[in-house]
């Protein structure tokens, strides 16, 4: 049997064992794993998502298990990165897929406002309430109506460090922002450049801002700023920019200096910390840093490449800035609802989790299924944050402001990195461009 065949067999076995433990109940969500066995026999379901390559193969294992359980046939369509265009074209042609998995909540809102999405049924809604913190229901809803099941998440609140550099400076992973700045200062005093910042990729700077802001202002203000209900000249923004200014202005804190950091890309920022000739000791970014470490360096995640959660500021609780992919129905049929119900179950998430390269927001997933201790810890941090999880702010805003290279948040924060003393001017520039992007 091929390696793929072995994995599919394992996925089938997982579902079969679960079904046996439930005693063969015929009643939909009452068995906790989605539709009853054989309940979708003869139905064909199309699901569209962005994944290709290894991610597509891992998701296929999940769909294989769903087929084995329900008797349905699932066809997978990879849209690549053009999922919005593909879906809009299919909708205009009157032939949308039954289910799509969207990479941004903004696309979910756009499709819902076009009446292109089908609200989830009662079984899916109950599964979401049972398995997810309330924030994930909110993120999957538009105007109070639940449309989406969050399936794959990213934890963007991690700080990665070179353990040898920390050992050489005699420092340990910090828990508070005060301790973090002490670590930065101590590393610098020891002749070790502390921070590698990917200023060449403006999106990394938005992640810096969002993580500090969430801890300074709290989740409610974060929501208000994300929807431009409060201005970018608000004191909470000033306080956040002040904290970043103090960090980025510390002597010898940033590899290449603030202006030099503008030439560093994300992948380079990771390699500069974990290469055989490291240029810095610390890089901040999400769980996906691990894949860059594995692909671009000889460092080993969990050994000489480790991480700590983004530090608490002024006693702020455990919080996570997250990304994620959300499953929605574009056709109102039993198969589409059944697949969403299955994807809302811990059993479905555990199939991909066991393969690696996956993080689930489902709080009932058995963390032991993740393939290594580092991923288990990252997943635990996401779950521990509970309702203090907030979606990446730049992805919640109009693309002109939140997701355009060298413009909006990206461009303004790049200017701020180069000149971190202009706090008031930076806040005013953010407010002016946000106002323009929101059309008012």
- Predicted TM-score (pTM) of the model is 0.89
Residue 282 burial class via C-beta count within 10 angstroms: exposed 0-12, middle 13-18, buried 19 and up:
buried
Say which residue the tokens 């309940």 belong to: 39
Is there a contact between 310 and 211 (Cβ–Cβ < 8 Å)? yes
Which tens digits make up the pLDDT trace of 172-187? 999 999 999 999 999 9
Nearest one of 339, 409, 247, 438 to 47, comparing CA atoms: 339
Q: Which two tokens stand for residue 257?
A: 């200096």
Nearest one of 109, 142, 63, 130 to 343, comparing CA atoms: 63
Distance CA 216, CA 214 (A): 6
Beta carbons within 8 Å of 89's beta carbon, 6+ residues apart: none
Q: Which two tokens stand for residue 353?
A: 């989790």
Over residues 341-358, the mean pLDDT reads 97
Residue 251 burial class via C-beta count within 10 angstroms: exposed 0-12, middle 13-18, buried 19 and up:
exposed
Over residues 277-301, the mean pLDDT reads 96
Distance CA 86, CA 435 (A): 30
Architecture field, domain 3-155+321-391: 3-Layer(aba) Sandwich (3.40)
Domain boundaries along the sequence of the chain? 3-155+321-391, 158-318+397-437
Is there a contact between 297 and 318 (Cβ–Cβ < 8 Å)? no
Nearest one of 418, 377, 239 to 316, comparing CA atoms: 239
Which tens digits make up the pLDDT trace of 227-284? 999 999 999 999 999 999 999 999 999 999 999 999 999 999 999 999 999 999 999 9
Is there a contact between 39 and 69 (Cβ–Cβ < 8 Å)? no
In the predicted structure, residue 10 carries a pLDDT above the cut 60: no
C-beta neighbour count of 240 within 10 angstroms: 25
The pLDDT assigned to 32 comes to 54
Which tens digits make up the pLDDT trace of 386-405? 999 999 999 999 989 999 99
Same fold, 3-155+321-391 and 158-318+397-437: yes
Distance CA 350, CA 295 (A): 25
Is there a contact between 306 and 161 (Cβ–Cβ < 8 Å)? yes
Q: How confident is the model at residue 81 (pLDDT cuts 50, 70, 90)?
A: confident
In the predicted structure, residue 409 carries a pLDDT above the cut 50: yes
* Superfamily of segment(s) 158-318+397-437: Periplasmic binding protein-like II (3.40.190.10)
């Amino acid at each position: 049997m091929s390696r793929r065949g072995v994995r599919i067999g394992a996925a089938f076995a997982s579902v079969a064992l679960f079904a046996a433990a439930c005693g063969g109940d015929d009643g939909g969500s009452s068995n906790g794993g989605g539709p009853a066995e054989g309940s979708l026999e003869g139905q064909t379901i199309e699901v569209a998502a962005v994944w290709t390559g290894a991610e597509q193969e891992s998701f296929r294992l999940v769909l294989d298990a769903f087929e084995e359980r329900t008797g349905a046939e699932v066809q997978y369509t990879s849209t690549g990165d053009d999922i919005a265009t593909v879906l809009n074209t299919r909708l205009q042609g009157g032939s949308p897929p039954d289910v799509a998995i969207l990479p941004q909540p903004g696309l979910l809102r756009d499709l819902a406002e076009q009446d292109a999405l089908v609200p989830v049924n009662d079984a899916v809604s109950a599964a979401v309430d049972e398995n997810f913190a309330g924030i994930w229901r909110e993120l999957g809803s538009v105007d109070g109506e639940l449309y989406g099941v969050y399936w794959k998440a990213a934890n963007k609140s991690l700080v990665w460090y070179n353990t040898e550099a920390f050992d050489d400076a005699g420092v340990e992973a910090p828990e508070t922002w005060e301790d973090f700045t002490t670590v930065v200062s101590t590393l610098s005093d020891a002749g070790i450049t502390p921070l590698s910042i990917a200023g060449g990729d403006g999106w990394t700077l938005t992640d810096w801002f969002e993580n500090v802001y969430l801890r300074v202002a709290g989740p409610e203000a974060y929501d208000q700023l994300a929807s431009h209900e409060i201005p970018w000249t608000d004191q909470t923004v000033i306080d956040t920019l002040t904290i970043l200014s103090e960090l980025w202005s510390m002597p010898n804190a940033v590899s290449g200096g603030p202006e030099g950091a503008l030439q560093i890309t994300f992948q380079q920022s990771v390699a500069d910390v974990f290469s055989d000739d490291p240029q810095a000791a610390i890089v901040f970014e999400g769980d996906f840093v691990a894949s860059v470490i594995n692909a671009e360096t000889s460092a080993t995640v969990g050994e000489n490449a480790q991480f700590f959660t983004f530090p608490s500021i002024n006693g702020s609780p455990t919080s996570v800035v997250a990304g994620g992919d959300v499953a929605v129905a574009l056709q109102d049929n039993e198969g589409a609802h059944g697949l969403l119900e299955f994807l809302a179950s811990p059993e479905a998430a555990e199939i991909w989790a066991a393969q690696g390269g996956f993080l689930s927001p489902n709080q009932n997933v058995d963390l032991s299924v993740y393939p290594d201790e580092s991923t288990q810890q990252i997943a635990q941090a996401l779950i521990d944050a509970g309702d203090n999880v907030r979606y990446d702010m730049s992805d919640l805003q109009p693309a002109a402001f939140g997701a355009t290279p060298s413009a909006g948040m990206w461009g303004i924060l790049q200017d701020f990195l180069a000149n971190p003393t202009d706090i008031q001017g930076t806040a005013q520039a953010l407010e002016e461009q946000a106002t323009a992007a929101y059309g008012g």
